[in-house]
Structure 1
Amino acid sequence: MTALLIRDLALAVRAGGGFGLGLAFFLIVTVLVPLGVGPETLTLSVIAPGILWIGALLACLLSLDRIFALDREDGSLDLLATAPLPLEGVVAVKALAHWITTGLPLVIAAPALGVLLNLPSGGYLWLFLSLLIGTPALSVIGAFGAALTVGLRRGGLLMSLLVLPLYVPTLVFGAEAARRGAAGLAVETPLLLLAGISLGAFALLPFAGAAVLRINLR
């Protein structure tokens, strides 16, 4: 498991679509929003939590198609399917590698980019915590979507259409937790719901992803 994780981390960084691309996209979204909605600080402070969460969600989408595509192209996925390592573990490890190379840098960068959107001072900690709790769900849901479309040529658009509706609860509760934190309101309920989504996704979706991988590899 550890060797597979190290290999996927190395491939993600070497093949692109990891740290740099997601962060660059996140930065572009954050810079363009004030240009589109205007420089009013009050408006930006209200929409900042939602915009930052949407930017992080879309940045995670950029590299989802690479989770299994590279292994499919070089035949490694067939070897992994017949290896002693359970296929459910393979899906979980690949989701973890995607989060480390894509989700975690976004979590770290989000508070700094919040300055560009005039995020209230009370919202930085809760934005960081909500992304830290919620982005693992984005990665594991994305791994499930990548498993669904692994056998399709140019299945990236279809995968995005399949995954985006599953992202909605994570987006709603994550942005709500950050918004409440910025407004000085109680954040326990959305954070607990967000944690439940992440834990439930990691408990169930590796099994679903492994099942659809077995079907696609037949």
Structure 2
Amino acid sequence: MIALILRDLRLAIRAGGGFGQGLAFLLILATLIPLAVGPRADLLAPVAPGVLWLGALLASLLSLDRVFALDLEDGSLDLLATSPVPAEGVALAKAAAHWLTTGLPLTLAAPALGPLLSLPASALPWLALSLLLGTPALSFIGTFGAGLTVGLKRGSLLLSLLVLPLYIPTLVFGAELARRGATGLPLLTPLALSGGITLGCIAVLPFATAAVLRVNLR
């Protein structure tokens, strides 16, 4: 599994997927929002956590169609299906590689973009924590969607339609955690729910992804 993760990391870096596209998208979004609504801190600060969370969510979608598609095109997916590594391990490795190339860079970059949206400095650690807790769930849900649509024509559009509704709980509780951290409100409920969703995704979705891959490869 570690070798598979390292292989996907090398491919992502070589192709420029995840790192560059996601960060560029988040930067563009954080730059355009103040231009659209005006540079007023009283307007931007309350919505900044939600905007940055939504930007991270949409940025994670950009590379989902390549999670399994490249392996399917060059025949690697068939080899992985017959390798000693179980399909659940392949799904877990793919999701981990996606998070390392997309979720982790977004988690590190979002606090640096917070001042563009007048986000208070006291809220930046909570924003980073909410993304650190929530973005793994985005990668695991996205990997499940990628496995479900692998091999389909125009699968990228269908993939977005499938995973976006599943992203909503992570978005709601992640943004709420960052918002409460910025305003000093109690954090236990969104913190527990964000962590619980991510742990549930890690526990369940590799098996679901493996099941849909077996069906699609028959």
Indicate if the aligned counterparts of 1:146 and 1:159 stay in contact, CA closer than 8 A: yes
Structure 2 alignment gaps of length 5 or more: none
Indicate if the aligned counterparts of 2:94 and 2:143 stay in contact, CA closer than 8 A: yes
Structure 2 residue aligned with 1:53: 53
Structure 1 residue aligned with 2:32: 32
Indicate if the aligned counterparts of 1:173 and 1:190 stay in contact, CA closer than 8 A: yes
Alpha-carbon shift at residue 154 of structure 1 (Å): 2.4
Structure 1 residue aligned with 2:128: 128
Structure 2 residue aligned with 1:42: 42
1:18 and 1:60 map into 2 onto residues whose CA distance is 8
The normalised TM-score by structure 1 is 0.99
Alpha-carbon shift at residue 89 of structure 1 (Å): 0.5
2:15 and 2:150 map into 1 onto residues whose CA distance is 18
Q: Deviations over 1:21-72 (max 9, x none)?
A: 1100010010011111111111100100000000000000000000000000
Q: Kindly report which structure 2 residues correspond to 1:37-116, keeping only aligned pairs within 5 A, or say none.
A: 37-116=37-116
Indicate if the aligned counterparts of 1:137 and 1:201 stay in contact, CA closer than 8 A: yes
**Alignment partner of 1:183 is 2:183:** yes
Structure 2 residue aligned with 1:16: 16
Q: Deviations over 1:166-200 (max 9, x none)?
A: 00000000000000000011112101100000000
1:53 and 1:193 map into 2 onto residues whose CA distance is 16
Structure 1 alignment gaps of length 5 or more: none
Alpha-carbon shift at residue 93 of structure 1 (Å): 0.5
AA in 1 matched with 2:73: E
Deviates more, 1:14-23 or 1:41-50: 14-23
SS at match of 2:167: helix
AA in 2 matched with 1:122: S
The normalised TM-score by structure 2 is 0.99
Structure 2 residue aligned with 1:140: 140
AA in 1 matched with 2:67: I
Indicate if the aligned counterparts of 2:148 and 2:213 stay in contact, CA closer than 8 A: yes
The number of aligned residues is 218
AA in 2 matched with 1:65: D
Q: Deviations over 1:91-147 (max 9, x none)?
A: 010000000001100000111100100102221111000000000000000000000
AA in 1 matched with 2:36: G
Indicate if the aligned counterparts of 1:22 and 1:106 stay in contact, CA closer than 8 A: yes
Indicate if the aligned counterparts of 1:122 and 1:184 stay in contact, CA closer than 8 A: no
1:137 and 1:153 map into 2 onto residues whose CA distance is 26
Structure 2 residue aligned with 1:206: 206
Structure 1 residue aligned with 2:3: 3
Give me the CA root mean square deviation.
0.7
2:45 and 2:60 map into 1 onto residues whose CA distance is 24
Q: Deviations over 1:73-98 (max 9, x none)?
A: 00000000011100001001000000
